[in-house]
């Protein structure tokens, strides 16, 4: 069971759970399109423990965005438990190398290993800096 703090935001397109988002696009949020984006804002939640702005729209128009807590994240490539996750583009995350980490591009930290290079969900702890 996941437990995150989330809030509904208007999205420019429907997004699947685990998608990395940033502020911008045609509405309030859009998929994080740049690798190592410093505009990352959260991850589309699956099960928010606390949902703010819950009456705004529905999951297609106003998905719940996890901004803190445990949430599955769409990750491309391998990662190890404890790795810092950054945007990989196209709404995906990837493990960061030490030299890539900044105070503004880290989405969170992986809570499990991922051994495949294809896309998969990885439970992570999300905590964003403003």
Q: What angle do CA 106, 108, 109 make, to 5 degrees?
A: 115
**Res 1: pLDDT:** 63
Alpha helices in the chain (DSSP H): none
Q: Tell me the C-alpha distance between 129 and 70, whole Å.
A: 16
**Res 123: pLDDT:** 96
Mean pLDDT (the chain) is: 94
Average pLDDT, stretch 67-91? 97
């Amino acid at each position: 069971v996941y437990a995150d703090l989330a809030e509904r935001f208007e999205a420019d397109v429907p997004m699947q759970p685990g998608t990395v988002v940033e502020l911008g696009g045609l509405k309030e949020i859009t998929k994080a399109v740049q690798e190592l984006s410093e505009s990352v804002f959260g991850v589309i939640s699956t099960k928010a423990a606390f949902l703010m702005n819950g009456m705004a729209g529905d999951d297609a128009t106003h998905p719940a965005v996890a901004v803190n807590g445990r949430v599955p994240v769409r990750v491309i490539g391998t990662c190890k438990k404890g790795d810092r996750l950054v945007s990989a583009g196209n709404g995906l995350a990837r493990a960061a190398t030490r030299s890539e980490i900044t105070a503004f591009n880290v989405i969170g930290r992986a809570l499990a290993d991922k051994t495949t290079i294809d896309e998969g969900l990885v439970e992570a702890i999300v905590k964003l800096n403003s």
